[in-house]
Chain A
Amino acid sequence: MANLMDRIVITGVGLTAPNGNSLAEFRKNLLSGCANIQRIDMRYMGLVLAGVCTFSATDYQSKKELRTGTRAGSIGIYCAHKALEDSKIDIDAMDKSRIGIYVGITEHGNVETENEVYQISKFGYDTRFWNHHHNPRTVANNPAGEVSINLGITGPHYTLGGACAGGNLGLIQGVQMLRLGEVDMALVGGVSESIHTFGIFAGFKNQGALAEHADPNKASRPFDKARNGIVISEGGCFFTLERLESALARPNAKIYGEVVGYGINSDAESAVLPCSQRQKECVDLALNKAGIKPSDIDIVNTHATSTILGDIKECQALREAFKDAPNTHFNNTKSFIGHAMGAAGSLELAGNLPAFEDHIVHPTINVEDLDPECALNNLVINKPKLLTKVDTILNNSFGMLGINSVVIVRRYEAKI
């Protein structure tokens, strides 16, 4: 039965980021200023900067599954298992047809297609050598479908293609489906395998938007005058989402927070250039849906990707949206892990969730010379900041073709 007023809570987090394979490790590194970007050898291009994940894929997959599946699927499977373990939910005791899997992606299939084209190039481009695994690897639902197969979940599974807003879209879809009564639990978030496709790197490079720095860990530097582009990363983050009543029915449930608002809108202007006005409107949309004011937000996790124009545009939007919110603080997570593309929205939200308990805002790092056009009141730079309380977090995630997404999560209080 649909109840659009259902309260939806996060009760599990599973993630892999370049600087952590659990929320605890990720958070520790965000608070201690530890980035982890490295140089990898990219086909046709040579060395490029990237964020690489080091989770143990064979913890949950056989070697054969790894051979036939995709990196995005593998990342999703790891994150799904970890989210479920964290939530202490035994899905084998549940009706698995009532579990949804909603996974945000920036893109999918580039890696696998490039690999096949490269592979048949060794055979004179004879398509007899084209791998029959190509289609199941490249269908758009692959990263969610591999999770479904691995866990035997028979409820709906699909991806949400939202460019770099994808991670937020996965979460929002889960909230909506729980409220519609379509599912009783959802694994939601986003994944990215984009560091395995030269096309993404070459595209950004030729657009003048690929970061370079002598020190890899200083390459992703949103808001700094010397920023020169994006560091592309792989990663993933899934949340276990459920209705508040089902979480409260489990005595051992840990409620990380309640999803109280969200917004999705479109710039309707440009394929690549962001629009401050629409971003601001998206923030307003989420605030209105949550029924709160800008001043109720304690932390804004900015989307800023370390591009010249993108960072300025977002800061313009935020200055306008939060002009009457003198106590709202701003930070950035990409400065540590680069841009995890489809995973960015969920990973960056996850990195901030522990602030509900420790009241610390992790900083944006690598700001040596703040760009005046990126100045924000209470931008937490280079060192974490302890607040007296953190009750509400707002997470921005924007993507190409002008898709904007905002999620608001509130610390759970039993008596709200």
Chain B
Amino acid sequence: MEKSDIRKIVIDIIAEIAPDEDLSNLKDDVRLRDQLELDSMDFLDIVMELRKQHNIEVPEADYPHLESLQSCVDYLLPKFNAKK
């Protein structure tokens, strides 16, 4: 998987969790919370959807890695590739 694949996966999940948000101009290096109306429950939803849809487990201690699109991609890419 490429970084762009992971980025799309994360954006697709956010689109489900925050269906009212415009995701067309998300900045990769800015905190998601600073660009979108996301709260801690929404981040739990992201964790759940990664688990359900992709069998990816994000331990609580790693939640800070979901801070921005860039940090998500950096954190999740090895996890996705390790699945293979």
Range of interface residues on A (Cβ < 8 Å): 10 to 19
B51 CB–A CB distance under 8 Å:
yes
Q: Is A415 an interface residue (CB 8 A)?
A: no
Minimum distance in angstroms from A398 CB to a CB of chain B: 39
Query: In the complex, which residue of chain A has the Cβ closest to the Cβ of B16?
Result: A67
- Spot the interface stretch: B3-11, B17-25, B27-35, B67-75: B17-25
Q: Does B41 contact A (CB under 8 A)?
A: yes
Assess whether B77 is interfacial by the CB under 8 Å rule.
no
The segment out of A14-22, A37-45, A127-135, A307-315 that lies at the interface is: A127-135
Number of interface residues of B (CB under 8 A): 12
Query: What's the minimum C-beta distance from B56 to chain A, rounded to whole angstroms?
Result: 12
Query: In the assembled complex, how far is the CB of residue A11 from the closest CB belonging to chain B, in whole angstroms?
Result: 33
Mask, A121-165, CB within 8 Å of B = 1, is 001000011011100000000000000000000000000000000
Q: Counting CB contacts under 8 A, is B52 at the interface?
A: yes
| A123 and B52 within 8 A (CB) | yes
Is residue A62 contacting chain B, with contact meaning CB distance below 8 A? Answer: yes
Chain B residues within 8 Å of A67, by CB: 16-17, 19
Q: Is B51 within 8 A of A64, CB to CB?
A: no
User: A133 contacts which of B19, B41, B51, B52 (Cβ < 8 Å)?
Assistant: B41
Collect the chain A residues with CB atoms within 8 Å of residue B48's CB: 129, 131-132
Check B26 for interface membership: any CB of A closer than 8 A. Answer: no
Q: Please give, as numbers and ranges, the residues of chain B lying within 8 Å of A32 by CB-CB distance.
A: none
In the assembled complex, the CB of B30 is this many whole angstroms from the nearest CB of chain A, namely 20
Number of contacts between A and B (CB, 8 Å)? 24
Residues of chain B within 8 A of A123, CB atoms compared = 52
Question: Would B17 and A64 count as touching, CB distance under 8 A?
Answer: yes
Q: Bits for B51-82, please: 1 = Cβ < 8 Å to A, else 0.
A: 11000000000000000000000000000000
B38 to chain A: closest residue by CB: A64
CB pair B19 A64 closer than 8 Å? yes
CA distance A131 to B44 in the complex (A): 9
Q: How far is the CA of A53 from the CA of B46 in the complex (A)?
A: 31
Interface string of A31-70 (1 = CB under 8 A from B): 0000000000000000000000000000000111001100
Known: A63-B20, A64-B18, A64-B20. A128 touches B51 (CB 8 A): yes
B51 touches A132 (CB 8 A): no
CA distance in complex: A130, B35 (Å): 28
Q: CA of A133 to CA of B49 in the docked complex: distance in angstroms?
A: 13
Q: What is the CB-to-nearest-CB distance from A197 to chain B, in angstroms, rounded to a whole number?
A: 23
Interface centre among B20, B37, B41, B51 (most CB of A within 10 A): B20
Asked if A62 and B52 make an inter-chain contact with CB atoms under 8 angstroms apart, the answer reads no
A67 to B41, CA, bound (A): 12
Quick check: A129 and B44 within 8 Å, CB to CB? Answer: no
Q: Which residues of B contact A (CB under 8 A)?
A: 16-20, 37, 41, 44-45, 48, 51-52
Interface residues of A (CB under 8 A from B): 62-64, 67-68, 123, 128-129, 131-133
24 inter-chain pairs at a CB distance below 8 angstroms, sorted by A residue, are: A62-B19, A62-B20, A63-B19, A63-B20, A64-B17, A64-B18, A64-B19, A64-B20, A64-B37, A67-B16, A67-B17, A67-B19, A68-B41, A123-B52, A128-B51, A129-B48, A129-B51, A129-B52, A131-B48, A132-B41, A132-B44, A132-B45, A132-B48, A133-B41
Q: In the complex, given contacts A62-B20, A64-B20, A132-B44, what are 12 additional A-B residue pairs having Cβ atoms less than 8 angstroms apart? A: A62-B19, A63-B19, A63-B20, A64-B17, A64-B19, A67-B16, A123-B52, A128-B51, A129-B52, A132-B45, A132-B48, A133-B41
